[in-house]
C-alpha cells in the first residue's frame, strides 16, 4: 500500500506552525492566533482594581436617587435633650381638681387643633402648641384663675399621642409606616428594628429626608401659616399661559398697541389728573392735564387692511408654571455597608421628629448579551450587583470569532429617550489593567469581531496538539503533489 510522501520543507513548515501555535496558546497572552483567550493576571501580591458604577463616557449618567443628598454631619449624631414640646394633633389627657366639686378630679381627653389650641370646660381656648407638659399646666391654672373660677387649680397634663414625635420609614422594609420616636436618642438602627429590618442587603445607601426648619408652620393661630407676600401679581393663576399672564413691560408689539388703542376707544374716556397741573407722560408722550391720551401711531410699514386684532406672531406657547423646589429640605445619605457590616457608628445618625427614612428597593431587571458570545440571550440581575466579567463568564465566555477589544455596552439614559454607546476593552478588564463596571437594567453587551478573525480561527483549528512530542494536522492541509 502506497503512502503519501511529503517533502522535508513541508514537514518543517508544519512543525514551525505547530510550535507557533503551541507557544501562542501556552505562554502568549492575547496572542494573534487566539484573541478569544482571556488573560488571567498572575501577581505575587494581591491586585486591587476598582469597580465602576457609571461608564466613563464623558456623559453624566443621571442618578435616579436623590442627586442632591449629602453625607451625615457631626451635628446629626447629637441627640436633642429636654422635655417634649406639644404640637398640633397631639392627644392630651388633662386632669383638673375642684372643677365640679371639692376634691373631685375631672379628666378630659382633648386633641390639639391645627391652630395649636385646646378647649377646656368653662374657659376660652388655651394655647398648647409650643409648650411642654409643665408649661401647659401652668397656663391652664392661670386661665382658670383669670376666669375667677378656681384660684389654685391642681392641673395635670399627660401626652397620650405625640403626633409631632413620629417618623416615617418607607421602601424595602418589612413593615413600612409611621412610628413614634420613643426616646430622645433614637437612631437609625432603632428605626430598622422598629420597622422589622431591611428586606435586602444589596442596597448602597439609605436616605433620610429632613426638614431644616425647626418649627414648621401650622395653619392659623400664633404659629400659623407664613404671611402671604404684601404684593402679588395681578394674575397669579398657575393655569394661565405665561404668554398672557404678566406680559413684560417692554413688549410694544405694533399689533398689541393697536388692539389696546381700540379697546381704550370703546371705554369711557378717563382723563389723567395731576394735582399740581403738570403734564402727564403716557407711553413716552407728554399729555396735558385734562386731555385725552392720543392713540399710538401705527408703524409706517404696516400693510393696509391688515387685521389689527390678530395675535402677535411671537407669542409664547402655552406652558404651565412648574412648582419651585422647596429650600427647607435636606437629604442625608447613609452607606448601608459601612453601617451594618463595618459597624461605623458615625453613620448611625439620630432620627428626628418628622424625618422620612427611605430604603430603596434593590435593582431588579434584565441585561442582554449579544454578539460573539457562547450563549447569547437575556439574563436577570436577580437583585444583585453583576459586573461585566461575571456577565461574560455566565454567558459561557466568547466564541471562536470574538475580539474582546471590540466590546461595547449600550446603556439607556434614565428619563430620556437616549442611549450611550461605550467601547470596552474586555481583555484589559480581565487582565486587571482597567476597572470593571457594574451592569444596570436594560444594558446590552455586544462583543464584536474583525475581518481576519475567521481565517485565524480556521488556522488555529487546523492543528491539534497531542501529548508528548507529536501533533495532528487537518488533511485539508495535505499536499496532493508530493506523493
pLDDT digits (tens, 9 = 90+) for 315-324: 666 666 666 7
What percent of the chain has pLDDT above 70? 64
Name the pLDDT band for 67 (thresholds 50, 70, 90). Answer: confident
Give the closest residue to 384 by CA, choosing from 365, 408, 368.
Answer: 365
* Joined grid coordinates for residue 187: 437612631
| Most confident of the ranges 48-57, 151-160, 210-219, 278-287 | 151-160
Q: What is each CA distance from 209 to 327, 328, 351, in whole angstroms?
A: 12, 11, 10
Task: Choose between 284 and 89: higher pLDDT.
Answer: 89
Lowest mean pLDDT among 70-79, 153-162, 359-368, 460-469: 460-469
Q: What is each CA distance from 309 to 246, 250, 316, in whole angstroms?
A: 19, 19, 17
Give the closest residue to 214 by CA, choosing from 115, 130, 331, 92.
Answer: 130
- 181, pLDDT greater than 80: yes
Q: Domain segments of the chain: what residues?
A: 17-61+362-483, 91-161, 166-214+327-359
- 294, pLDDT greater than 90: no
- 348, pLDDT greater than 80: yes
Mean pLDDT of the region 204-211? 90
Query: What's the farthest any 2 CA atoms get from each other in the chain?
Result: 137
Mean pLDDT of the region 331-339? 89
Helix and strand numbers (H, E) in the chain are: 8, 21
* Joined grid coordinates for residue 466: 497531542
Give the closest residue to 401 by CA, choosing from 423, 381, 421, 374.
Answer: 374
- 84, pLDDT greater than 90: no
Are the C-beta atoms of residues 69 and 333 closer than 8 Å to each other?
yes
Mean pLDDT of the region 186-200? 89
How much is the pLDDT for 200? 77
Mean pLDDT of the region 256-267? 51
Q: How far apart are CA 319 and CA 324, in angstroms?
A: 15
Strand order in the sheet with 105-111: 105-111, 91-97, 154-161
Strand (E) or helix (H) holding 111: strand 105-111
Name the pLDDT band for 454 (thresholds 50, 70, 90). Answer: confident
The phi and psi torsions of 141 (rounded to 5 degrees) equal -60, -45
How much is the pLDDT for 230? 41
Q: How far apart are CA 382 and CA 379, in angstroms?
A: 9
Region of 354 please: left (phi>0), alpha (psi -120 to 50) or beta: left
How much is the pLDDT for 292? 53
Residue whose C-alpha cell reads 450611550 in the numeric block: 420
The phi and psi torsions of 91 (rounded to 5 degrees) equal -100, 125
Q: How far apart are CA 55 and CA 112, in angstroms?
A: 54
How much is the pLDDT for 281? 63
- 329, pLDDT greater than 80: yes
How much is the pLDDT for 118? 93
Mean pLDDT of the region 456-460? 78
Reduce the DSSP state of residue 427 to 3 states and report it: helix
How much is the pLDDT for 436? 93
Are the C-beta atoms of residues 136 and 142 closer than 8 Å to each other?
no
Q: What angle do CA 236, 242, 248 make, to 5 degrees?
A: 90
Are the C-beta atoms of residues 353 and 167 closer than 8 Å to each other?
yes
Q: How far apart are CA 67 and CA 60, in angstroms?
A: 12
- Determine the CATH number of domain 91-161: 3.30.1950.10
Mean pLDDT of the region 162-174? 90
| Distant-in-sequence, close-in-space partners of 396: CB < 8 Å, separation ≥ 6 | 373, 374, 375
Q: How far apart are CA 394 and CA 366, in angstroms?
A: 14
The phi and psi torsions of 107 (rounded to 5 degrees) equal -115, 130
Name the pLDDT band for 188 (thresholds 50, 70, 90). Answer: very high
The phi and psi torsions of 205 (rounded to 5 degrees) equal -130, 150
- 302, pLDDT greater than 80: no
**What is the rounded average pLDDT for all residues in the chain?**
75
How much is the pLDDT for 25? 45
- 255, pLDDT greater than 50: no
Q: How far apart are CA 183 and CA 180, in angstroms?
A: 9
How much is the pLDDT for 397? 93
| Distant-in-sequence, close-in-space partners of 75: CB < 8 Å, separation ≥ 6 | none
Mean pLDDT of the region 290-304? 55
- 369, pLDDT greater than 80: yes
The third-level CATH classification (topology) of the domain covering 17-61+362-483 is Outer membrane lipoprotein wza fold like (3.10.560)
* Joined grid coordinates for residue 319: 406652558
How much is the pLDDT for 143? 92
Mean pLDDT of the region 56-78? 78
Name the pLDDT band for 59 (thresholds 50, 70, 90). Answer: confident
Region of 429 please: left (phi>0), alpha (psi -120 to 50) or beta: alpha
How much is the pLDDT for 382? 81
- 439, pLDDT greater than 60: yes
How much is the pLDDT for 198? 86
166-214+327-359 belongs to CATH 3.30.230.10:
no
Which DSSP string do the residues of 254-297 spell out, in sequence order? HHHHHHHHHHHHHSPP-----TT---EEETTEEE-TTSPPPPPP
- 195, pLDDT greater than 60: yes
Residue whose C-alpha cell reads 496572542 in the numeric block: 31
- 349, pLDDT greater than 60: yes
Mean pLDDT of the region 166-182? 91
Q: Are 17-61+362-483 and 166-214+327-359 in the same CATH fold? A: yes
Q: Cβ-count burial of 141 within 10 angstroms (0-12 exposed, 13-18 middle, 19+ buried)?
A: middle
Lowest mean pLDDT among 303-312, 376-385, 413-422, 459-468: 303-312
How much is the pLDDT for 201? 72
Q: Cβ-count burial of 345 within 10 angstroms (0-12 exposed, 13-18 middle, 19+ buried)?
A: exposed
Q: What is the per-residue pLDDT across 389-434, written as a single tens digit (0 to 9) for each?
A: 999 999 999 998 999 999 999 998 877 888 999 999 999 999 888 9
Amino acid at each position: 500500500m502506497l503512502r503519501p510522501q511529503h517533502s522535508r520543507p513541508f514537514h518543517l513548515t508544519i512543525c514551525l506552525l505547530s510550535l507557533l501555535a503551541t507557544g501562542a496558546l501556552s505562554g502568549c497572552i492575547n496572542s494573534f492566533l487566539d484573541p478569544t483567550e482571556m488573560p488571567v493576571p498572575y501577581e505575587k501580591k494581591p491586585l486591587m482594581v476598582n469597580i465602576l458604577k457609571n461608564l466613563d463616557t464623558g456623559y453624566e449618567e443621571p442618578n435616579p436617587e436623590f442627586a442632591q443628598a449629602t453625607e451625615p454631619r457631626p451635628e446629626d449624631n447629637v441627640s436633642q435633650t429636654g422635655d417634649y414640646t406639644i404640637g398640633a394633633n397631639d392627644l392630651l389627657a388633662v386632669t383638673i381638681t375642684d372643677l365640679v366639686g371639692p376634691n373631685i378630679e375631672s379628666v378630659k381627653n382633648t386633641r390639639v387643633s391645627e391652630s395649636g389650641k385646646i378647649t377646656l370646660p368653662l374657659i376660652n381656648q388655651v394655647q398648647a402648641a409650643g409648650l411642654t407638659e409643665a408649661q401647659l399646666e401652668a397656663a391652664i391654672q392661670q386661665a382658670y384663675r383669670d376666669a375667677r373660677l378656681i384660684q389654685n387649680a391642681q392641673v395635670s397634663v399627660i401626652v397620650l399621642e405625640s403626633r409631632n414625635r413620629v417618623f416615617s420609614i418607607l421602601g424595602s422594609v418589612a413593615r413600612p409606616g409611621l412610628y413614634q420616636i420613643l426616646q430622645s436618642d433614637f437612631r437609625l438602627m432603632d428605626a430598622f428594628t422598629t420597622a422589622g429590618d431591611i428586606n435586602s442587603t444589596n442596597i448602597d445607601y439609605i436616605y433620610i429626608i429632613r426638614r431644616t426648619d425647626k418649627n414648621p408652620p401650622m395653619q392659623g393661630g400664633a404659629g400659623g401659616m407664613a404671611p402671604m407676600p404684601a404684593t402679588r401679581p395681578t394674575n397669579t393663576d398657575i393655569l394661565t399661559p405665561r404668554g398672557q399672564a404678566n406680559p413684560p413691560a417692554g413688549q410694544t408689539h405694533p399689533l398689541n398697541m393697536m388692539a389696546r388703542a381700540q379697546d381704550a376707544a370703546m371705554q369711557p374716556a378717563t382723563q389723567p389728573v395731576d394735582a399740581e397741573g403738570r403734564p402727564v407722560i403716557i407711553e413716552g408722550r407728554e399729555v396735558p392735564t385734562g386731555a385725552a391720551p392720543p392713540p399710538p401711531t401705527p408703524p409706517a410699514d404696516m400693510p393696509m387692511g391688515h387685521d389689527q386684532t390678530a395675535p402677535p406672531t411671537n407669542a409664547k406657547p402655552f406652558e404651565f408654571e412648574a412648582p419651585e423646589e422647596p429650600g427647607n429640605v435636606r437629604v442625608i445619605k447613609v452607606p448601608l455597608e459601612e453601617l451594618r457590616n463595618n459597624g461605623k457608628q458615625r453613620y448611625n445618625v439620630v432620627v428626628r421628629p418628622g424625618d422620612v427614612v427611605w430604603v430603596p428597593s434593590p435593582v431588579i431587571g434584565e441585561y442582554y448579551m449579544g454578539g460573539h458570545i457562547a450563549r447569547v440571550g437575556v439574563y436577570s440581575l436577580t437583585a444583585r450587583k453583576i459586573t461585566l466579567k461575571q456577565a461574560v463568564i455566565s454567558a459561557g465566555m466568547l466564541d471562536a470569532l470574538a475580539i474582546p477589544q471590540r466590546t461595547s455596552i449600550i446603556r439607556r439614559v434614565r428619563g430620556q429617550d437616549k442611549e450611550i454607546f461605550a467601547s470596552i476593552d474586555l481583555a484589559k478588564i480581565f487582565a486587571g489593567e482597567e476597572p470593571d463596571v457594574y451592569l444596570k437594567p436594560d444594558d446590552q453587551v455586544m462583543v464584536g469581531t474583525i475581518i481576519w478573525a475567521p481565517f485565524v480561527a480556521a488556522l488555529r483549528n487546523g492543528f491539534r496538539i497531542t501529548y508528548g512530542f507529536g501533533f495532528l494536522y487537518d488533511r485539508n492541509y495535505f499536499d496532493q503533489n508530493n506523493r
